[in-house]
Each structure stands twice: as structure tokens, then as C-alpha cells.
Chains A and B, each alone.
Chain A
Amino acid sequence: MSLDTATVRRVAALARIRLEEAEVARLQAELNGILGWIEQLRSVDTEGVEPMAGGAPRGGPTRMPMREDVVTEGNIRELILANAPDREGDFFAVPKVVE
């Protein structure tokens, strides 16, 4: 399977990364190189294999710890806003979303 330039643009748009026209061809070649190499997985017989989700090895603890569903921190508005590129009062400010 090989990505055409329209697909490269669509994927960039999905990823919210602006692409300059001059970058499209290079990215297309690089992504196709990587995807072509990944293709070899098709030859592996995975019939009936349960997918491994998460990184915990078998043989370790199986219980996912749960904690009480209570607020553990709060009232740190200034800490949360301290890194904001732009703020208005106690809010993050962003460019206009709707006309």
C-alpha cells in the first residue's frame, strides 16, 4: 500500500500539522519507506491470537489498583495558568473559534 499526496495531506490535516507544499513529496517518500518496511507483518500468522494491549508482562501483578474516587488536589488555578501562552482573567485565551 502506498500513500498518494492527497493522503499525505489528509493525514497531516488529521494530525493538525500544517504542511508546506515543498514538504509533501519528501514526507510522502519517507512515510512510504516506513510503511513499506512495516508491510512484512502481513506475513505473520496471527489467527486466534489475542492482541496485547498495554505494556504489563504476563507473570506480573494482574490487579489494576483502584483508588477512592475523591478530589486529591485543587485550588491551584494560578499554577495551571502559569504556562498559558495567552489568558484572559482565569481562562485560557484562544483565537476565534466561530464567526
Chain B
Amino acid sequence: MRPTDLTIAGALEALGRRALSAEELTRAHLEAIEALNPRLNALITVTAEQALAQARESDARRTRGEARPLDGIPLAIKDLFCTAGVRTTAASRILHNFVPPYESTVTAQLRRDGAVFLGKANLDEFAMGSSNLTSAFGPVENPWSRRNDPETRLVPGGSSGGSAAAVAARMALGATGTDTGGSIRQPAAFCGIVGIKPTYGRCSRYGIVAFASSLDQAGPFARTVEDCAILLRSMSGHDPKDSTSAEVPVPDFAAACRRGVRGLRIGVPKEYRLDGMPAEIEALWRQGLEWLRAEGAEPVEISLPHTQYALPTYYIVAPAEASSNLARYDGVRYGLRVAAPDSDLRDMYERTRAAGFGQEVKRRIMIGTYVLSAGYYEAYYLKAQKVRALIARDFERAWERVDAILTPATPSAAFAMGERTDDPVTMYLNDVFTVTANLAGLPGLAVPAGLDAEGLPLGLQVIGRPFDEETVFAVGAALERAADFKALPRVRAGA
């Protein structure tokens, strides 16, 4: 088997019995990146030398009998995580030259556990988007294409589109992402891989470029549910540098993948049956419930009555927080500065931000500025926070009757570059099934479950109780076993 086709669990096993060295594994991935990245544009920065040095250190540790939980596993890191000494752009012109002097907690923990970093993955600018088309470093191409139309280039989803494309194309065994409204789960579904947004507070946000602080969570991408569980264990845990990271124990998530689902009650929210939803997505959802029923779980119809208000609520809360968070990009301390010879300070701010931010980021900053401005705060922001509380309450009531909830991951398969870009609101509808978990702070996992008529992957989503990622992994793993998803993207290492 090619090293690039291994799972993380399989690679750890092969490294452990010295059938493979970390250096060989890293070289295989760097070769895949060299071959495929010019086309896919999944990575903004490739850190080949550093990756090889880290791999050699990993091999030395293993020789000394000091192997760590992820020793030698090559990963792509979303370019939203600050990495000390390695440029971190958030896919924005305004940070095109920013080299952080510090490391994010999540990446520091992955390094602590022996992971090798191949490079920084492309994304929608400041993680604002569902297509990876808003990156200042160019779009990412989805490694999948339509069976009868292989020339049409598809989006990988977003915002973590580079991370998802890199893992699907076998340029990395796993990747980090962040998810504010669906930015891990939607690209995972579009690229036929697994991704989990854990409970808000499970991972530290320290050193992750902030978008919407009450919604942002880090999480992993990988090609199996178990691999995601392995990565999440390393990424999780309380961090004194982030007061919203929760002081709760980090369980052995991988062990939960083997629990099974016997006796679990699986909620089926009736409000997630959308008018105009493709029949094959509806059919896949029913199929998913049948698979779980066959394993001994019990489907239960539930109601989450405020679901339809989730996206409008999100598009008040997230831009409001973004407009505040992005106020720091002022051309003074780091990043881009644009000034005319006669600019005063304010003019420099305005020119810098006009030149440094792309259209989608500007739109969201302006929406956020407006809904927080004097006279509108109560009508928009406070109202949205109240509706958010109702959305969270819908889930709290559901947990009295069910242990997990099953939904489709996205309302469609991957779409073509250039489709759905005319109207911002149409693009926002991509996150209709995922955004509720961010608003309520709940864990959500996307798992590939089938193909549409054009041969593109479709995913299912499992939502769980707060800090009960273990049940989410158990259900996700059961779906994965039943779906036995073996299809491969056309563009991948070794193809």
C-alpha cells in the first residue's frame, strides 16, 4: 500500500513496527504535494524542510523508545492557526506577510504529540465562506469531479477547503480546520472525508485567528472516523490562555468508535426536511437511519422548531463578532499598510483595510458594524442573541428524548466554481444543516455515506450532547462501517 493511502491508525501501526519511517512517510506526502498542489492549490505555504526535520526527529524518538501518540504523522494545518516562525495569512492580503512569534495551543499540542507539519492549508479569507473562493491566494479545486463532466472544476467547500482537499487528495493523512458555521463539516462532506467540530470549549482558541469568538471551534479532518478521534484527543483540553476552553477531562475518543449504537435513541428533526432538497439526499438520510436501526439504535422523530431562524441569527451574531475582532487589522503593528504620501492616521486605516480585505470580508464587517451601531443594537444583535437562546433550548429539550441527532451534512453535493456566487445569501444557505450546532455550542461530525447520481460524495451529520463527542464518534463509526464508502476522488496521489 502507498504510504499516502494509509489511515493515521494504520500509519502509526506501520511506524511502530518499523515497516516505514516517518521520513519516508513525510517524503511521500511532500511528493504528492509537489505533484498535486499546483493544480489543487490546497496549501498556501509548504514547509518541506521543516517537515523533513520534524520527521527525522520523530524517527530518532521512536528509535529511543520514546514515541508519542502521533509520532511521525504528516498533517496540513489550516492557515488560520498561528505557527511560530511560519507565515500565517488567514488567506487575506492584510496578513500576507505575517509571521507569528507564537504558536497556537492546538498546533503546539499536535507538535507535543509528535505530528509533522507539511504546510499551511488554504481557506476562505478569515474563514468567511463556504466555497474557498474568497481566498486572496486563489481558489482551491475539489479533487472530486462529476462522473460525466470531469472538466468542470468544483469547489471543495469552505472555509477549510484546502484542509479537506489536501486530505481527500492524499497530500496529508489529516488536517486541522476551524468551524464557525459549518467550515469543517461542509468541506468534509464535499470532499468525501470525515470532519468533526467538537463542543464549544473542547479545544483552545488561543492562537487561532479569530472570526466569531462565540462560534469558532477547531477540529480535525481525516479519512476515517477513528483517525479524527485520534487527532481530536491531541487537539483537546483546557488551556489557561483561553478562558472559554473547558476544564473537562479528555476521553479516549478512538475507543468510543468501537462502542456500537445498540440502545441509542437517534433523533430525526422534522424541520431538516427542506422543500426542494435533492431526493438522493433525503434517501441517504433514510438509509443512514436504517443502518443505525439495523445496529440496534432506535430512530425517534423530534422537533427543533427554531431551525429556520438559525441562518439569519448566525448572519447577525457572526458578522457582529467579526467586525469587532477584525478591528485589530489597522496597518500599525503587523500585516499590510497602505498609505498615500499625505495620509493621516485615519486615512491610512481606511486605505489599509480597503486594500487588505476582500469583498466578502468587507460585507461582513459592514453588516456587523451596522447591527452593533447605536439605535440598531437591540433590534438586531440582542434579538439574535435571544433567538440563539431559543435554538439552544430546542436542542436541550431534544436531549430529554434522544442521545444523538442524525441529519444530512449539506443540502447539495459540491457545486462548480462560478455557481452560486451572484448572491451572498444563496451561498450562505450551504450551512443550513451545520450552523445550528455552532449556535448551540454542540459537537457535530460529518461522515461520507454515499455518492450522488454524478458520482460526488454526500455526507451525513451526527450532532451530540455537549461534551459527548464519544457518542458522536460511536454513531459516526457505525455509519462508516455500514456505508463502506470506498469511492476515490479523480485527483489524488498515485492516481
Contacts and interface: CB of A to CB of B under 8 A. Distances in A.
B67 to A, nearest CB: 31
A11 B425 contact: no
B360 to A, nearest CB: 10
B29 interface: no
A80 B334 CA distance: 9
Nearest to B311: A37
Contacts of B99: 82-83
Is the contact region of chain A dominated by helix, strand, or loop, or is it mixed? loop
Interface residues of B, number: 80
Contact of B312 (A40, A54, A61): A40
Given A60-B246, A60-B467, A52 B385 contact: yes
Contacts of B382: 51
B39 interface: no
B7 interface: no
A85 B101 contact: no
A25 interface: no
Contacts of A57: 199-200, 392, 440-442, 466
A65 B308 CA distance: 35
Contact of A14 (B373, B387, B442): B373
Contacts of A51: 382, 385-386, 388-389
A95 B330 CA distance: 12
Contact of B339 (A50, A95, A97): A95
Interface of B: 97-99, 101, 199-201, 213-217, 238, 240, 243-244, 246-248, 306, 308-309, 312-313, 315-316, 323, 327, 330-337, 339, 343-351, 353-354, 357, 362-363, 365-367, 369-370, 373, 380, 382-390, 392, 396, 399, 423-425, 438, 440-442, 465-467
Given A17-B357, A19-B354, 12 more contacts: A8-B366, A14-B373, A16-B353, A17-B354, A55-B201, A56-B246, A57-B392, A58-B392, A59-B399, A83-B101, A92-B333, A95-B339
18 contacts: A17-B354, A18-B353, A33-B425, A34-B367, A34-B424, A37-B315, A38-B312, A38-B316, A41-B316, A44-B387, A52-B392, A53-B385, A58-B466, A59-B467, A60-B199, A61-B246, A65-B243, A94-B345
